[in-house]
Amino acid sequence: MRRMRIVPIVVPLALGFLLALPANAHPSADEPFRAADEPSNARAIQWSPPSPKNTGLYLERGNVGGFVGYPFTVTDDLRADGIVFGASASFLFFPFFGVEVAGTRQNLELLPQEMEDCLPPLSGGTIESVVISTSALFRALASSKVTIYGTAGIAYFINDLKPGSAPADDLAEFGFQVGDDIEDALGVNLSGGVNVLIYRSFGVFSEVRYMRATADTLVTITDEATQISAQHPSTQKLESIIWSAGFRLYF
């Protein structure tokens, strides 16, 4: 009789103790068992995305700068006129590869030519060109502070012609007026040079740049008495080699 009285008391107490345990004290069937040697208070490993340097293209370093130089023409009917100046910006995607955008301002003087069966492509003057180039940039380290580089790409020549006097003056004696026009043109840009790092964010460079394009031209001859015009379309080769030196600011 005494044993029968103890059982109804013990069973409810045991059930109440089990229900009072915390929920995480009873692992679910689909929860993996914790390793025996793993501390119970171990922090969960947090995932973080890889750095940009490990994902392919990344901006390692860029620079902006300015330069001055002098053009050496390689055609018979052009002559360099004054200094060249410009600016450039480079962006590196890999340590040895990037892109460069540059703007160059140059003047080329048209040399007078002898008139034979027809007028020359242009009757003289000065061609003022602003050349915008976009190029692939390749570089190699010569030392910790010296970099050798080269570029290759396309160049767009924005041309403006300041007409000269010859041979327009010769035709003016016979009552004819000469008008010249030159179009913008797409060409090529090649360069090579050396960078020298002076401080962490400042350096100097020297380079040789080759630019070439062929522009459409139009010479118009007008009879001043009758106002009748005749046109002579042709082309003008714009080609120069520029030696320049300048500075760059790195970021």
d(CA 156, CA 89) in angstroms, rounded, equals: 16
Q: In terms of C-beta density within 10 A (0-12 exposed, 13-18 middle, 19 or more buried), how is residue 66 classed?
A: middle
- The predicted model gives 33-61 an average pLDDT of 48
Q: Under the phi-then-psi rule, with left for phi > 0, alpha for psi from -120 to 50, and beta for the rest, what region is 173?
A: alpha
Could you tell me which of 151, 236, 238, 235 has the C-alpha nearest to residue 187?
Answer: 238
**Under CATH, which number does the domain 66-161+186-212+238-250 receive?**
2.40.160.20
β-bridge partners, 207: 193, 244
pLDDT tens sequence across 211-224: 999 999 988 878 77
State the pLDDT confidence band at 54, using cuts at 50, 70 and 90: very low
pLDDT tens sequence across 84-111: 999 999 999 888 899 999 999 999 988 7
pLDDT tens sequence across 61-85: 789 999 999 998 888 888 888 899 9
State the pLDDT confidence band at 199, using cuts at 50, 70 and 90: confident
Q: Under the phi-then-psi rule, with left for phi > 0, alpha for psi from -120 to 50, and beta for the rest, what region is 29?
A: alpha
- Where in the chain are the domains? 66-161+186-212+238-250
Query: pTM above the 0.85 mark?
Result: no
Could you tell me which of 108, 106, 145, 134 has the C-alpha nearest to residue 191?
Answer: 134
For β-strands 146-163 and 185-199, DSSP reports them as: antiparallel
